[in-house]
A = this chain, B = another copy of it.
Amino acid sequence: MENKKLIYIADDEINICNIIKSFLLKEGYDVETFNDGRSILEAFNEKPADLLVIDIMMPEIDGFSLCSAIRRQSTVPIIIVSAKDTEPDKIAGLTLGSDDYLTKPFSPMELIARIKSIFRRIELDKIKNDTVQEIRIGDIIINADKKQAEFNGKNIGLTGMEFNLLYYLAQNKDKAVSRTELLDKVWGFENYVETRATDDTIKRLRKKLSDSGSSLKIETVWGFGFKVNEKG
């Protein structure tokens, strides 16, 4: 269980700080507020936060300088919040190392959405290589990366068309899919093939499934198309 994230806010208007703080607290974050650039920098050196929300115009150290100072020593995400809404200001802020730039007045809900988006990005980068894209259907695992379907961890050796067809049916599991839809989505509309072509591939698919030992059945929906069910 991950700890609560700690967020520092720096703005010389105390009211702004408090408003943002109350929203972030409601979202379950730990929050500390500061009213000038120097105090947030000192606090950060003392105890690093997980994200900073800073204003541009502040006493002691302004937001731009603060941003580059922090960036020299940390990869912590920074969101700049400012009344300065000109393009050069935004670009300066983003270029100096901030992850986002919001102009006042802004919606607290949007700020929260953007904070979450940044945290999600960090998570995605962290787990990137561990995520496996696969669909489970009955006793079969369909792995889109490997482009193969497995039963008991063993590849059942589907061809391209067979794989695409099974993949499409699995994406629409428990739902009947018409032949026309299959021809359109799996075969592609530039192909002029007989409707019966689907039957052929289904036939081969069924054979390979049963040969592999799987008990997954592709149901026929009479006069319409086919369907696979989540549980075998």
Identify the A interface with B (CB < 8 A): 72-73, 75, 77, 87, 90-91, 94-95, 97-100, 107, 109-110, 113-114, 116-118, 120-122, 124-129, 131, 133, 144-147, 159-160, 174-176, 221-224, 227
Instruction: Give every chain B residue within 8 A of A95 (Cβ-Cβ).
Output: 113, 116-117
**B126 contacts A109, C-beta separation under 8 Å:** no
Instruction: Give every chain B residue within 8 A of A128 (Cβ-Cβ).
Output: 75
**A129 contacts B133, C-beta separation under 8 Å:** no
Q: How far is the CB of A48 from chain B (nearest CB, A)?
A: 11
The CA of A113 and the CA of B98, in the complex, are separated in Å by 10
**A117-B100 contact, Cβ under 8 Å, with A75-B131, A91-B110, A107-B87:** yes
**B146 contacts A227, C-beta separation under 8 Å:** yes
**A117-B98 contact, Cβ under 8 Å, with A87-B109, A160-B222:** yes
Q: How far is the CB of A125 from chain B (nearest CB, A)?
A: 4
Instruction: Give every chain B residue within 8 A of A109 (Cβ-Cβ).
Output: 87, 91
Q: Which residue of B lies closest to A223 (CB)?
A: B160
Instruction: Choose among B114, B117, B145 the residue that contacts A176 (Cβ–Cβ < 8 A).
Output: B145
Q: How far is the CB of A147 from chain B (nearest CB, A)?
A: 4
A87-B109, A90-B107, A145-B175 are known; give 4 further A-B pairs, CB within 8 A.
A75-B124, A94-B117, A125-B126, A146-B227
The 10 A-B pairs with the shortest beta carbon distances in the complex, nearest first, are A125-B125, A75-B124, A94-B113, A145-B175, A147-B176, A160-B223, A91-B113, A94-B117, A87-B107, A73-B133
Instruction: Choose among B87, B126, B145, B227 the residue that contacts A174 (Cβ–Cβ < 8 A).
Output: B145
**B159 contacts A222, C-beta separation under 8 Å:** yes
Instruction: Choose among B99, B113, B117, B125 the residue that contacts A117 (Cβ–Cβ < 8 A).
Output: B99
The CA of A174 and the CA of B113, in the complex, are separated in Å by 35
The CA of A224 and the CA of B145, in the complex, are separated in Å by 12
Instruction: Give every chain B residue within 8 A of A131 (Cβ-Cβ).
Output: 75
Q: Which residue of B lies closest to A77 (CB)?
A: B121
Instruction: Give every chain B residue within 8 A of A113 (Cβ-Cβ).
Output: 90-91, 94-95
The CA of A78 and the CA of B91, in the complex, are separated in Å by 19
Instruction: Give every chain B residue within 8 A of A116 (Cβ-Cβ).
Output: 94-95
